[in-house]
Amino acid sequence: MNESKLSPLEVNNFASIVVMDLQERLVPSIASKDVLLESNALLIKASKLLNLPVVVTEQVPSKLGRTIPELLDGITNFHLIEKSTFSALGTASFTEKLKQTGSKHLILSGIETPICIYQTALDSLVAGYSVTVLCDCVGARRLSDHEQCLSQLRYQGVDVIPLESFLYRQLQNADHESFREISALIRTRSETHPSC
């Protein structure tokens, strides 16, 4: 489904957060990893406040370890999907979970931009989803690869925006019941990712 056919409110109501492969053996080699982890922790906390479904993927966890535990501290309402495919859409349990949540719009975060994020974003477009990649919530070992892939995804029709823009788009106005909590979370951020 093309996002342009949905009103902003409809897009918000059918969005799912997909946090990809932020695992113990993968994260240490990622450029700007501390900023990346901080941004994803904020995204996950805000998702709980906004009642957005969160799907966490792990790439071959038996070899690459589990998701960094601090990211999921205090969060119990998420779906964990183990995968061996680079595109999450190549894993049947992932596509089934999206159907169960009624998702029409996928919000991608995690690693790596030129591999799993890139392939998942393109496959999601082909499958009819609207796709947003949060540029300060994704990362790679090489920033040049990261930036080139974000540029290509924009060209293909993916919405590439910073986390703060996404969160305020979800809130829509200062009367939202979670506005104060989310704006307080945003104010605690140390910096944004270099590519945003």
Q: Tell me which residue range forms the domain holding 93.
A: 11-187
58 preceded by a cis bond (ω within 30 of 0): no
Question: Does 194 fall in a domain?
Answer: no
Each residue of 132-182: pLDDT tens digit?
999 999 999 999 999 999 999 999 999 999 999 999 999 999 999 999 999
Question: Does 62 fall in a domain?
Answer: yes
SS3 138: strand
In the sheet with 54-59, reading across from the earlier edge strand, the strands are 79-83, 54-59, 15-20, 105-111, 130-139, 159-161
Strand partners, 17: 54, 107
Average pLDDT over residues 54-66: 96
Question: Does 93 fall in a domain?
Answer: yes
Structural domains in the chain (count): 1
Cα distance between residue 90 and residue 140, in whole Å:
21
Question: Does 94 fall in a domain?
Answer: yes
CA torsion angle for 166, 169, 174, 180 (degrees, to 10)?
-20
pTM confidence score = 0.90
pLDDT band at 1 (very low <50, low <70, confident <90, very high): very low
What's the helix, strand, coil split of the chain in %, to 5?
50, 20, 30
Question: Does 3 fall in a domain?
Answer: no
Residues in CB range of 151: below 8 A, 6 or more apart = none
Say which CATH number the domain at 75 has: 3.40.50.850
Question: Does 5 fall in a domain?
Answer: no
Question: Does 152 fall in a domain?
Answer: yes
pLDDT of residue 52: 92
Average pLDDT over residues 12-17: 80
Average pLDDT over residues 39-59: 94
Question: Does 192 fall in a domain?
Answer: no
Percentage of the chain modeled with pLDDT above 70? 90
Cα distance between residue 37 and residue 27, in whole Å:
9
Q: In the predicted model, what is the mean pLDDT of the chain?
A: 90
Name the DSSP letter for residue 173.
S
From the CB of residue 74, how many other CB atoms can be counted at a distance below 10 Å? 7
Among the residue ranges 25-29, 134-138, 152-156, 192-196, the one predicted with the least confidence is 192-196
